[in-house]
Structure 1
Amino acid sequence: MASPAVVDISRWQFAITAIFHMSFPALTIGLSLFLAVMYTVHLRTGNPLHPQIFRFWKKIFAVGFGLGVVAGTVMTFEFGLNWGRYAHAVGPILGVTIGMEVITAFFLESGFIGIMLYGDGRVRPRTMAFACWMLVVGTLLSTTWILSANSWMQDPTGFTEVDGQFRASNWWHVLFNPAFSYRYPHILLAVLISAAWFIGGIAAWYLVKQRALPFARRTLSIALGVLAVLMPVQLYVGDATAAFMGAHQPAKLEAFEGNWKTDNGRSSSPGACS
């Protein structure tokens, strides 16, 4: 059995990698939708401001996409290296789920991102728009598969245990487990809101510096409009998610809230609530 120090180091390594990785998909999922909308609006209106916005943000999207892919690959290795026994136990389920994410989402994204990044002026505008929307589909598929796998780890259903491994007995229950219906909309709204804040923050900086004012005003107005719509919805969805967690994972919810007291008033360690 691994020593507590090795376990703690493994936890810190995986946590740091996960935080670093998640920072980039949290931006690129929303940015892909923003880019697709901008290019589509450009096709319909012919306003030269929209392709300027599109070309500015697609460069940032490309950097974020590349870093997210690399960091996600490192996380996959850490599953097997840091948590070998766990990976062996859940491999028949999580291996399939993450594999489907690679086959359906990553291949779709990697196929169309080249057109989106380098096709401007080289392919027909409608082909560019189609590539942008296919990239949106790819990012949403990736989010769906990853959240399905993560939600199953939080609230596993549809499995039987055979020789120390979890094997699917009902794939519908595995993929659309009870936690998924709460966690998926919560995370999807969160990444869209994160992207909107990021876009709005950059636009606000340009306004403060009095640079590229038409670009900054239009970008900021779009970001603020998205935030005005999504943030009230997220308050409701987030509250429902917390209520679900309180019913299914009360110790984890108390750890989030920093409540280290047991029912009898004695102090309990954070590790006991994880």
Structure 2
Amino acid sequence: MPTNDKPANGQENPSFFDRLDQTPPPPALEPGGKHGTRLLARLRTAWKESWEEGGFLYQRWEEVFQARHASWHEITTWIKTAALFAGISLIVILADTVGGIASATLKDLSTVPATGAGSGLWGTVDHPVREYLADQAAHLSVTPAALYAFWQLTGLLGLVGGFFGSAGARIAWLLFGLGSLAMIWSAAPAGGRAAATGLAALMWALASIFALRGLTLRPIVHNHPPQYQFNPALHLHATIPTPTPAGDDLGPDNIHPLQR
């Protein structure tokens, strides 16, 4: 398979397989020798010639070595293709891994009982949410455990995604917090409704330090210098009269008579 690469002398540079086809069998071998030995010798010869200066493999190695200092547009096509293929493969592997982790996490969360009793500060916030979801699931075609698992997964993704600056994750985090406060206010006991909702608001605010990291309400002003600078200048054109020759003087006062 010939290539378009040419060495410094302007002649076409044959590829490794062309070298292999052009390499004659070594003369030291007898006609009745083994075919595998002849093929191995031709491969060794073609490999050695391809790595010589100006050879096919030598130039490919030079292109790989120069790619470290060149821009993306200056890199050869085969290196770009290999890099894009590796990048796409890595993205597919990461997407498959993340999908498997999310599926396993959702499956584990769905096994948690939706009406489990809690204690402490977290139980004060978590128990009303469980009660509210269990009451609403009775009117829906979904189990309370699935609703509770989805609520947990939404909060987890909003917290992690918001920490890395994702706008969609931060919107999900805000909706998750507002929805949680509404559920706690609705399902908490009447005597401790305000305390439970306020405690949940404080915990949500503390977690928002990480979820809304870097978010500011101040307007961002970008001061970019103008692309074109206008420098006003005033150009004065003064006309200097041509001096009169000495031979044209009429009278001592240099007065010209009027002409009709």
Q: Is the structural similarity TM-score above 0.5?
A: no
TM-score w.r.t. length of structure 1? 0.24
Which one has a bigger Cα radius of gyration? 2
Larger proportion of helix: 1
TM-score w.r.t. length of structure 2? 0.25
Query: Which one scores higher on RCO, CA 8 angstroms, separation ≥ 6?
Result: 1
